[in-house]
């Protein structure tokens, strides 16, 4: 519990009590955090083993800690475990993906995807015990039903999804970022309000005992960074 407070622009601010740790401790923590994050992979082979609602709730809470433009928290996480609903989502997603793989995607795109081994079969949408569909809230309505656009919505929701994915990994669970395109069928199937747009679909569950992932390599530090010291 923080004790000190301050009023800024008429609003209460509370003291931020950051943990004070040594440089060595920081170095050790971020090395081991990176090594742990590096074990995460996008998984497409799931077990149907049950995952409790409590686990999903805390994963969503973790996603909801993300920073957002003007603290509008412009996200909604829809968690689906209902088998009938999952099956409807699979059917609609596969319909779009068939179009994508057979005509909408360019030759180059298909070539780039070849190493991942993806196709229009989205069996995982029924096998994984949960689907989390993330919606972004493009705008909010005030008391007079007037629209006000949210700020930096894509950035905010993207960050929240990153935190959600880390929380899923932390729970010993697997996921992948599935983006059936176009995704508006999700708004219809889940009967979402008009200010929400589907952003990302994440199947969540335990990886199946025999799960395979492509043998991909991440870019090296020197390829993903430039330092200006
Ligand atoms: N949405 C399709 C295709 C796809 C596109 C990209 I870019 C990927 O990295 C992976 C798949 C699908 O989910 O199969």
Q: What spacing in Å lies between the alpha carbon of 134 and ligand 1's midpoint?
A: 17
pLDDT at 23 over 60: yes
Asked if the structure places residue 197 within a domain, the reply is yes
Kindly report, residue by residue over 125-154, the tens digit of the pLDDT: 999 999 999 999 999 999 999 999 999 999
Q: Is 114 in the pocket of ligand 1 (CB under 6 A)?
A: no
Q: Is 137 in the pocket of ligand 1 (CB under 6 A)?
A: no
**pTM recorded for the entire structure:** 0.96
Asked if the structure places residue 18 within a domain, the reply is no
Asked if the structure places residue 73 within a domain, the reply is yes
ipTM of the modeled complex:
0.94
The answer to whether 199 and 161 have CB atoms below 8 angstroms apart is yes
Kindly report, residue by residue over 99-115, the tens digit of the pLDDT: 999 999 999 999 999 99
Asked if the structure places residue 10 within a domain, the reply is no
Asked if the structure places residue 17 within a domain, the reply is no
Q: Is 113 in the pocket of ligand 1 (CB under 6 A)?
A: yes
SS3 for 119?
Answer: coil
Q: Name the domain count of the chain.
A: 1
Asked if the structure places residue 158 within a domain, the reply is yes
Asked if the structure places residue 32 within a domain, the reply is no
The answer to whether 173 and 60 have CB atoms below 8 angstroms apart is no
Q: What spacing in Å lies between the alpha carbon of 113 and ligand 1's midpoint?
A: 7
Range of the domain at 84: 42-211
Percent of the chain with pLDDT over 70: 99
Dist CA 178 CA 82 (whole Å): 19
């Amino acid at each position: 519990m923080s004790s000190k407070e301050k009023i800024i622009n008429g609003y209460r601010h509370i003291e931020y009590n950051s943990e004070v740790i040594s440089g060595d401790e920081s170095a050790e923590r971020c090395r081991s955090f990176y090594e742990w994050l590096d074990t995460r992979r996008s998984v497409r082979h799931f077990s149907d083993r049950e995952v409790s609602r409590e686990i999903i709730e805390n994963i969503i809470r973790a996603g909801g800690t993300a920073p957002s433009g003007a603290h509008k928290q412009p996200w909604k996480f829809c968690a689906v475990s209902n088998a009938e609903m999952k099956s409807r989502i699979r059917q609609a997603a596969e319909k779009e993906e068939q179009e994508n793989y057979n005509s909408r995607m360019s030759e180059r795109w298909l070539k780039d995807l070849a190493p991942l081994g993806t196709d229009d079969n989205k069996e995982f949408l029924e096998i994984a015990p949960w689907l989390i569909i993330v919606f972004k809230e493009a705008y909010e309505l005030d008391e007079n039903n007037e629209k006000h656009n949210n700020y930096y919505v894509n950035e905010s929701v993207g960050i929240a999804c990153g935190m959600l994915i880390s929380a899923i990994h932390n729970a010993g669970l697997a996921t992948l970022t599935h983006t059936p395109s176009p995704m508006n069928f999700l708004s219809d199937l889940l009967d979402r309000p008009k200010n929400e747009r589907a952003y990302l679909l994440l199947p969540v569950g335990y990886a199946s005992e025999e799960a395979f992932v492509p043998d991909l390599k991440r870019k090296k530090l020197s390829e993903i960074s430039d330092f200006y010291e």
